[in-house]
A = this chain, B = another copy of it.
Amino acid sequence: MSNRRRGFAQERDLAKKLWDKGFAVMRAPASGSKAKRLLYPDLVAIKNGVVFVFEVKTTRSRKRDIYIPRHQVDKLIEFSRRSGGMPFIAVKIVGEGDWFFIPLRDLQETGSGGYKLPLSRLETHSFLKMDNLLTLALGVRPLRDYLEK
């Protein structure tokens, strides 16, 4: 399976898990389509009027940083600004199974203008899990609670 096909399979996996938790979920059209100009994120999940906007990344190791091109972060921010949503990098460590969600403030700029997610140096408590998103959507706790730990 090519990287790209594997990427789509992982996106579908995340979409299905969010759907099973009761979110309305929308995946972007295949990249390369003309609509790409409209700055689609990989995935959007909505519940109760609360919008989550995701760029999806998979990695084989928790020990490596994840590099993210600047334009991917820019479109995440722009879509979130327009929708009033919350942007996250959705990460799956292949083999470990669970998805987690990392807020953009944990990204670091690289010298070349892009970003990296310093996975190896992040404290595990800054990883939001699926159930934390549900809690946010239901308004039980604000995002700030998670960010300020």
Contacts and interface: CB of A to CB of B under 8 A. Distances in A.
A28 to B, nearest CB: 7
A28 B24 CA distance: 12
A93 interface: no
B15 A85 contact: no
Interface in A1-38: 12, 15-16, 19, 22-30, 33-35, 38
Given A12-B34, A35-B27, A40-B26, A49 B83 contact: yes
The interface size bin for chain A is 20 to 34
Contacts of A85: 24, 46, 49
30 contacts: A12-B34, A12-B35, A15-B38, A16-B38, A19-B38, A23-B82, A24-B51, A24-B79, A24-B82, A24-B85, A26-B41, A27-B28, A27-B29, A27-B35, A27-B40, A29-B29, A44-B44, A46-B46, A46-B82, A46-B83, A46-B84, A46-B85, A47-B82, A48-B84, A49-B50, A49-B51, A49-B83, A49-B85, A50-B84, A51-B51
Binding site secondary structure of chain A:
mixed
Interface of A: 12, 15-16, 19, 22-30, 33-35, 38, 40-41, 44, 46-51, 79-80, 82-85
